Structure 1
Amino acid sequence: MRIGIVCPYSWDVPGGVQFHVRDLAEHLIARGHEVSVLAPADEETALPPYVVGAGRAVSVPYNGSVARVNLGLMSASRVRRWVKEGDFEVLHIHEPVVPSLGLLTCWAARGPIVATFHTSNQRSRAMVAAYPILQPALEKISARIAVSEYARRTLVEHLGGDAVVIPNGVDVDFFAAAEPRQEWSGGTLGFIGRIDEPRKGLPVLMKALPAILRARPGTRLLVAGRGDEQEALALLPTELHGQVEFLGMVSDEDKARLLRSVDVYVAPNTGGESFGIILVEALSAGAPVLASDLDAFAQVLDGGAAGELFANEDADALAAAAVRLLGDADRRAELTKRGSAHVRRFDWSTVGADVLAVYETVTAGAGAVAPDDRVGLLGRLGFAREPGPPAG
């Protein structure tokens, strides 16, 4: 099958959607499908052979974070050329309501379109206000996927319609087979995420750390991710700075080794999460997981059966739970056993088959869909009116 996948966010800035698109593409390619991914990327970025760069991204605030997206006349031209040259049997657009390549592709495309919605946002005035602009594009989507029940709920409440829930995937065996590193083992807590993004929760963990260290003096915190290390340490008494080690950005291999090494992986995220792929990766590596009780995290952790939960943004609750886990090897072993069994449902062998089933469904009954004939904003973005058959 010839498959075109659209990533809305810059390929050169790591993130959950980018990782999902990458892993899905590589899973499909390994199974003999012809896949091309369109993504924003700086000209100097080294891209995998299956990725087509659509130009430099710009930073915009989105869902409590900063997203690097691509939208403009030059991008519109590149989208049209990619769609035409690819002659795809199905287009899979991620986050079609984000002002980026996915929206441009919806406007430009003919044929069956599958859209995956990743965002969980209980109240988005911007999404509601933008609906009249989004509607023509959304009407061309043949099938909708949401990565979690909470992403599906956001879609239903803000845009109408419905979606099948297919979670993010992970290569479970890749993480399970990683070799632990001795220097990252022995009384260690792990955190992976952008240091300077408050919703990832590192400030909550830093606030909890003094109490953890009072109860377990030899504990170390390993932090992997980009951001201002000194700003993060400012939340911690100076005499405790030596108990925190910043690893910077790590490769996929080292991320897996880190998760295989730590005694407890901590996910103190405070909101804006629709799934929690890092939890799935941690479970795959056999790490006992301690996470804030966000709805999406609770779902990934099977309501607390596959990992422990603490009250969101409650540093005292985090500290108490971490101290208990660090002092209870039997409980950690139990969580590892339960998590390793539970996480198999997120393996690409299952998730990829579900996504392919959606592709096969929409291509089986698809007819050609004409480019949108509306003028105004679409015309200004370079989508001129083209003759074509009536929309089906």
Structure 2
Amino acid sequence: MRIGIVCPYSWDVPGGVQFHIRDLAEHLIRLGHEVSVLAPADDETPLPPYVVSAGRAVPVPYNGSVARLNFGFLSAARVRRWLHDGAFDVIHIHEPTAPSLGLLTCWAAQGPIVATFHTSNPRSRAMIAAYPILQPALEKISARIAVSEYARRTLVEHLGGDAVVIPNGVDVDFFAKAEANPAWQGRTIGFIGRIDEPRKGLPVLMNALPKILAVYPETRLLVAGRGDEKEAVESLPKEMRERVEFLGMVSDEDKARLLRSVDLYVAPNTGGESFGIILVEALSAGAAVLASDLDAFAQVLDQGAAGELFTNEDADALAGAAVRLLGDAERRAELRERGSAHVRRFDWSTVGADILAVYETVTDGAASVATDERTGLRGRLWRRGESGGPTSGSSDALFSGG
């Protein structure tokens, strides 16, 4: 199958949607499909062979964050060229409502279109206001996927229609087989996310850290992600700042090793999350997880069975839960065991098969429609032939290209 996938966000600034698209593309390629991904990217960005650059993106406030998007006449021309060159059996657009490549592709594409909705924002006035503009493009979509029940709810409330829920995928074995790094072991807490994005919740964790250190002063917090390190620790007393180690941006291999090494992984995100891929990665690596009680996080963690939850934005609740878990090795082992079993449902072997089933449904449907139209035209031409018009033979020539 020839599959075209559209990424709305810049390839050179990694995020959950980009990682999902990358992993989906590579999974499909391993299965023997031909895949091309269209994404915004700076000229100097090294790209995998299956990614086509649509040009540089610009930062735009979107869904409580700053997204790097690509939109305009030049982008539209590149979309049309990519569609023409690809001759895809199915086109898979991610975030078609974002002012980026997905919306441009919806307008330009013909044939079966699958769309995945990642955003969870039940109070989006912008999406409601934009609906009249979006509607003609969205009507061309053959099938809709939401990455969680909360992304589905946003879609239903703002745009109408419905979607099948298929979660983001993870290569579970990649994380499960990672080797721990001894330098990252020994009563450690892990955090991975953009340091300078408040909704990722690092300030909440920093506010909780003094109470954790008061009970377990040897604890270290390991922070991986881009952002201003000095600003991140400003809220901490100077004597505690040495207990925080910033690792910067880490490779996928080091991310897996970090998650495999820590005693406790903490996800203090405060909102705007429709899924929580980092939780799935942490569970895959066998980490004991403590997360804010966002609806999407609770769903990923099986309502607290596969990882513990604390009250969102409550630093005291975070500190209390972390102190209890750091002092209870048996409970952490129980969470690791439950999490490792629960996370298998997010493996690409399952998620990829579900997405392929959607592709096959829409391509089969398109083929049926084409057959029906062809049969209907044959019948009309046959009837005209009986009355002195074109014969059945000439209709065969029409459909065979003769």
TM-score w.r.t. the length of structure 1 is 0.93
Rounded Cα–Cα distance in structure 2 between residues aligned with 1:141 and 1:74: 23
* Structure 2 equivalent of residue 386 of structure 1: none
Q: Which structure has greater helix proportion? A: 2
| 1:296 corresponding residue in structure 2 | 296
Partner of 1:182: 182
Confirm or deny: 8 A CA contact 1:112 1:367 kept in the other structure: no
In the TM superposition, residue 235 of structure 1 has moved relative to its aligned partner by 1.4
Paired residues in the alignment total: 369
Could you tell me how far apart the structure 1 residues matched to 2:354 and 2:113 are?
Answer: 16
Contact 1:4 1:92 in 2 (8 A): yes
Secondary structure, in 3 states, of the residue corresponding to 2:274? coil
Structure 1 residue ranges without an equivalent (≥5) = 370-392
Aligned equivalent of 2:332: 332
Q: Deviations over 1:125-184 (max 9, x none)?
A: 100100111001000000000000000000000000000000000000000000100010
Match of 1:355 in 2: 355
Kept in 2, the 8 Å contact 1:147–1:168? The answer is: yes
AA of the residue aligned to 1:129: A
Q: Secondary structure at the match of 1:130?
A: helix
Q: Which residue of 2 aligns with 1:81?
A: 81
Q: Compute the displacement of 1:250 (Å).
A: 0.1
C-alpha displacement of 1:368: 11
Name the structure 2 match of 1:102.
102
Q: Could you say which residue in structure 2 is the equivalent of 1:200? A: 200
From the superposition, tell whether residues 134 and 368 of structure 1 become closer, same or farther in structure 2 (CA, over 3 Å).
farther
Match of 1:365? 365
The 5 Å alignment of 1:36-51 reads 36-51=36-51
Which residue is equivalent to 1:320? 320
Match of 1:55 in 2: 55
The superposition leaves residues 28-73 of structure 1 with CA deviations (integer Å, 9 ceiling, x where unpaired) of 0000000000000001100000000000000000110000000011
* C-alpha deviation, 1:365, in angstroms: 1.1
State, as a whole percentage, how many aligned pairs show the same letter: 84
Alpha-carbon offset, residue 122 of structure 1:
1.3
CA distance in 2, matches of 1:363, 1:61: 35
Alignment match, 2:372: none
CA deviation vs aligned residue, 1:88-108 (integer Å, no higher than 9, x gap): 000000000000000000000
**Structure whose CA Rg is larger:** 2
Distance of aligned partners of 1:17 and 1:341 in 2 relative to their CA distance in 1, 3 Å threshold: same
Greater relative CO (CA pairs within 8 A, separation 6+): 1
Where do 1:72-151 residues align within 5 Å?
Answer: 72-151=72-151
The one-letter code of the counterpart of 1:168 is: N
Q: Which residue in 2 is equivalent to 1:70?
A: 70
Q: If the length of structure 2 is used for normalisation, what is the TM-score?
A: 0.91
Give the corresponding residue for 1:240.
240
- State the distance in 1 between where 2:366 and 2:171 align: 31
- C-alpha change, 1:90 and 1:368, in structure 2 (3 Å) is farther
Secondary structure of the structure 1 residue equivalent to 2:46: coil
Secondary structure at 1:274 match in 2: coil
Deviation at 1:367, TM superposition (A): 5.9
Off by >4 Å, runs of 4+ in structure 1: none
Provide the rounded CA distance (Å) in 2 between the counterparts of 1:70 and 1:134.
17
Question: Residue 90 of structure 1 contacts residue 363 of structure 1 at CA under 8 Å; is this kept in 2?
Answer: yes
Matching residue of 2:161: 161
